[in-house]
With several copies, the nearest count.
Chain A
Amino acid sequence: MTTRVTDAPLDLAPLLAETEDDACGALVIFSGTVRNTNEGRPVSGMTYDAHVALAERVLAEIEAEALARFAVRHCRIVHRIGALALGDVSIYIVVRAAHRAEAFDAARYAIDQVKARAPIWKEEHYTDGASRYLDGTPLRAPSPEADAR
């Protein structure tokens, strides 16, 4: 089974290799990295928590939605959890399409959806030793109407 959520450092090369496709002229990659400040406070690192089984499902769903909504041929998402240092990569999104506009749109869709829907939580650590969980987006269960569609 493809792993999308892992506590190991993320590696871009295998994502590029598994999506290689001569029918694609455009590749867009998004990556999130741990930033050294947030709202003016100096940050020393970040701990990511996740509901791994549900997050795996949600990331796979977002990949499938990107393929269904945009003219793209590949969308792969991997997210790291656990303790990350400054500069560490927390997420890679790799999109390949025939043309660039669709690749950009799909990558943007994917990261926006990950932030809104993936059951993943950031705890920010500060250089003064304090830490806090970041505010986020409340999850909603899919409505029965949506299921029936």
Chain B
Amino acid sequence: MHIRVTFYGRLKQDTGTRQAALELPGDRATVRDAVEAALKAYPTLAAHLDTLACSVGAALADPGTPIRDGDEIGFLPPVSGG
């Protein structure tokens, strides 16, 4: 399954990447699988796992949220808008 991952805020800085394509094995996966695959490709994410949130498309997602081929997974560090 092909997905895209997008890194926001300091995660963009720490990974040096705004967006990347990742390949997940099989045809069923969850957000948790996407995070594990991203962690292998971008080990600096490890320091942020405790405070990481994820989105699928334009919605916040849980680790157990299923993802589909072509989904865009957002990696969202703690927010500081306003």
Q: Distance in Å from the Cβ of B10 to the closest Cβ of chain A?
A: 4
Identify the closest chain A residue to B14 (Cβ).
A133
Q: How many residues of A contact B (CB 8 A)?
A: 34
Which one, A32, A90, A111, A136, contacts B79 given CB within 8 A?
Answer: A136
User: Is A123's CB under 8 angstroms from B82's CB?
Assistant: no
A69 CB–B CB distance under 8 Å: no
Closest B residue to A142 by CB, please name it. B60
- Are the CB atoms of B78 and A122 closer together than 8 Å? no
Q: Per a CB cutoff under 8 Å, which of B8, B52, B82 touches A119? A: B8
Tell yes or no: A91 within 8 A of B by CB: yes
Size of the B side of the interface (Cβ < 8 Å), in residues, is 26
A101-122 vs B: 1/0 string, CB under 8 Å? 0000000000100111111111
How distant is the Cα of A119 from the Cα of B55 in the complex, in angstroms?
A: 10
Is A138 interfacial (CB 8 A cutoff)?
yes
For A111, what are the chain B residues with a Cβ–Cβ distance below 8 Å? Answer: 82
CA distance A116 to B13 in the complex (A): 21
A53, B61: Cα distance in complex, Å:
14
Known: A49-B8, A141-B53. Is A54-B60 also a contact (CB below 8 A)? yes
- Complex CA gap A120/B9 in Å reads 8
A50 touches B (CB below 8 Å): yes
Residues A49 and B59 in contact, CB atoms below 8 Å apart: no
- Interface membership of A149, Cβ < 8 A: no
A56: B residues at CB distance < 8 A: 58
One digit per residue, 1 when the CB lies within 8 angstroms of any chain B CB and 0 when it does not, for chain A 28-63 equals 000010000000000000001111011111000000
CB contacts (< 8 Å) of A139 on chain B: these are 53, 60, 76, 78-79
Q: A57-B58, A117-B79, A141-B62 are in contact. List 10 more A-B contacts (CB 8 A).
A: A51-B74, A79-B81, A90-B82, A91-B81, A111-B82, A119-B8, A123-B13, A138-B51, A141-B61, A141-B65
Question: Chain A: residues with CB nearer than 8 A to chain B?
Answer: 32, 48-51, 53-57, 79, 90-91, 111, 114-123, 133-142
List residues of chain B with CB under 8 Å of any chain A CB.
Answer: 6, 8-10, 12-13, 51-55, 57-62, 65, 74, 76-82
